[in-house]
């Protein structure tokens, strides 16, 4: 299995490090040809309006949209969540989103850079397990989840990690902690629900 990591902006190298820790080969995606052989895609954080423009100028936006429509599994974190959402509040009028998850998010919903914070999160399906340390940096806030969206973690009653079908999105940066469980769960989900394999 090969996971593509969008490498236009953000901590894409950290995502590659987490994937390597769980034995998954990855490659950086910078142009449409880089998508050819990937079995999943990670869309990292960054500045969502800039990333939207870079996706268009690089020629990647439409090929990624087509691959997602065709069933490509995707993990989006922070700005990646914004780009994959169905509706974005406080975004730029020309900002394009992929609409892959039926959620409404508010850009910088937890505040600006000075309001960044860290907290421990309980991952669903892991009762009694160690908390996951969430790093929130100018994070988007989920204000609505559609009926098909599964909530995998919350902070103060607000979803911060959700999944719909083959697309998982997080408000926080799981790549910035040494805990690879969010990436591992995403890859396990790909194996079970896409390839029909045991994790």
**Is 175 tagged catalytic?**
yes
What pLDDT sits at residue 56? 92
> What is the spatial distance between Cα 59 and Cα 55, in angstroms, rounded to a whole number?
6
Structure token pair of residue 48: 């969502």
**Is 183 tagged catalytic?**
no
Catalytic site residue from 15, 155, 175, 189: 175
Domain count, the chain: 1
Model pLDDT for residues 30-85, shown as the tens digit of each residue: 999 999 999 999 999 888 888 889 999 999 999 999 999 999 999 999 999 999 99
For 115, the domain range is: 2-193
Q: Is 111 contained in some domain?
A: yes
Identify the CATH number of the domain in which residue 116 sits: 3.40.50.880
Catalytic site residue from 15, 97, 155, 173: 173
Positions in the chain whose pLDDT score sits under 50: none
Full-model pTM: 0.93
Catalytic site residue from 78, 97, 183, 189: 78
Helix axes 48-57, 61-69, angle to 10 degrees: 90
Q: Give yes or no for a contact between 26 and 16, defined as CB atoms under 8 angstroms apart.
A: yes
Residue 20 backbone dihedrals phi, psi, to 5 degrees? -60, -35
**Is 97 tagged catalytic?**
no
């Amino acid at each position: 299995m090969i996971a593509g990591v969008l490498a236009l902006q953000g901590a894409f190298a950290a995502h590659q490090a987490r994937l390597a820790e769980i034995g998954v080969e990855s490659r950086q995606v910078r142009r449409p040809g880089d998508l050819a052989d990937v079995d999943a895609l990670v869309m990292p954080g960054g500045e969502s309006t800039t990333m939207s423009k870079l996706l268009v100028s690089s020629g990647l936006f439409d090929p990624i949209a087509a691959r997602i429509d065709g069933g490509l599994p995707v993990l989006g974190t922070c700005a990646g969540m914004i780009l994959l959402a169905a509706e974005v509040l406080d975004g730029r009028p020309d900002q394009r989103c992929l609409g892959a998850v039926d959620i409404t998010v508010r850009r910088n919903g937890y505040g600006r850079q000075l309001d960044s914070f860290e907290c421990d999160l309980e991952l669903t399906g892991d009762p009694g397990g160690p908390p996951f340390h969430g790093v929130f940096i100018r994070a988007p806030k989920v204000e609505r989840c559609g009926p098909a969206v599964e909530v995998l973690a919350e902070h103060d009653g607000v979803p911060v990690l959700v999944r719909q079908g083959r697309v998982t999105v997080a408000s926080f940066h799981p790549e910035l902690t040494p805990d690879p469980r969010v990436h591992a769960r995403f890859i396990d989900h790909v194996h079970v629900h896409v390839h029909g394999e045991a994790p």
